[in-house]
């Protein structure tokens, strides 16, 4: 029997090309990263075993959350701006402008991760 460890929220990485879309100040973005990151879960579940598969998402959930449903109508958290592509912070402030990047994020990050999970 195999085990899959999905570790989607341990990263604080936001690639430079996407920072321009965030509306928070640098200080507020750092605070939001501190609040929303599952710190050290990647280290906690860093297990070396041939029967254990690890999927570690290398990008912060503030950019795209691969544990949310892609379709907003299916995702309860989309009602508060936190669907698979977050638009709001944990306390409802504007996080980023998604108009021009949502489809790109879904195609290049979300869907690739889902394909990798389905391969296991």
pTM recorded for the entire structure = 0.91
- pLDDT reading at 4 higher than 90: no
| 3-state DSSP assignment of residue 19 | helix
- Measured at the CA of 77, the angle between CA 114 and CA 70, to 5 degrees, comes to 25
- pLDDT reading at 117 higher than 90: no
For residue 94, the enclosing domain spans 3-119
Number of domains in the chain: 1
Q: Give me the mean pLDDT over the 69-86 stretch.
A: 96
Contact 53, 3 (CB under 8 A): yes
Element (H, E) at 115: helix 111-119
Q: Give me the mean pLDDT over the 72-96 stretch.
A: 97
- pLDDT reading at 120 higher than 80: no
- pLDDT reading at 96 higher than 90: yes
């Amino acid at each position: 029997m195999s085990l899959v460890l999905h570790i989607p929220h341990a990263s604080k990485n936001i690639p430079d090309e996407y920072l321009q879309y965030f509306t928070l100040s640098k200080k507020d973005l750092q605070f939001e990263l501190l609040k929303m990151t599952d710190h050290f879960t990647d280290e906690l579940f860093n297990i070396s075993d041939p029967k254990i598969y690890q999927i570690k998402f290398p990008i912060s959930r503030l950019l795209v959350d691969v544990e949310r449903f892609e379709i907003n109508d299916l995702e309860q958290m989309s009602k508060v701006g936190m669907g698979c592509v977050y638009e709001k912070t944990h306390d409802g402030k504007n996080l980023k402008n998604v108009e021009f990047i949502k489809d790109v994020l879904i195609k290049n990050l979300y869907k690739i991760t889902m394909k990798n999970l389905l391969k296991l």
